[in-house]
Amino acid sequence: MTREMCRLPSFQPMQDWLRDHICRFPSSPVREILELGFGGVKVVAVVIQDLPADDVQGLRRLITAGQLRPLRVASEYVNLADRYAGNNHLGPYRVIPTWGATEAFLPEDADLLIENTQTGQTLANHNLKIVDTLFESSACLMGNANSMSMPAKRERINQIIEVLRRGVMGERGEPK
């Protein structure tokens, strides 16, 4: 995974959390070992429905016009949010760390959310709209990539992978 892939919760490890980690620690040995194929979400950029912007270019226009200065970006994914705002030239901006119920931050405490959603229904219920999709994510097994070079650890990791694969995918290799 490269730093560029970072431009892009639940209790199971998700690819979105791995990407957030890699954005902060690009040389980290933590890698995805197995995609589990469930818990799918989209990580999206979200604004209030009334904001006259339908995409990231619209946000940039509002920022350039001085209507959103400094931009307040709220997210549980602080590293992804920082990378997204920087890569999309949304500065000046400030990232506000959140822990759950991020949708409640708009519009009083934030202008933009970097959030995950399965269906978009919660966002719609809060009068919010998606202006960009960063990437899709699902549950995965993560581990230290360096461990695969150690025979005893590699064997144990492969045993765990097989158990998970059978439990999640079934004997035929198809999702249960």
Specify the pLDDT at position 53.
96
pLDDT tens-digit series, residues 105-156? 999 999 999 999 999 999 999 999 999 999 999 888 888 989 888 999 989 9
Please state, in angstroms and rounded to a whole number, the distance separating the CA atoms of residues 141 and 167. Answer: 13
pLDDT tens-digit series, residues 38-92? 889 999 999 999 999 999 999 999 999 999 889 999 999 999 999 999 999 998 9
> Global pTM?
0.81
Specify the pLDDT at position 169.
67
Domain ranges of the chain: 41-136
pLDDT band of 171, cuts 50, 70, 90: low
Kindly tell me the burial class for residue 149, based on how many C-beta atoms sit within 10 Å of its own C-beta (0-12, 13-18, 19 or more): exposed
pLDDT band of 7, cuts 50, 70, 90: very low
CATH, domain range 41-136:
3.40.190.10
Buried b (16+ CB within 10 A) or exposed e, 43-54: bbbbbbeebebe
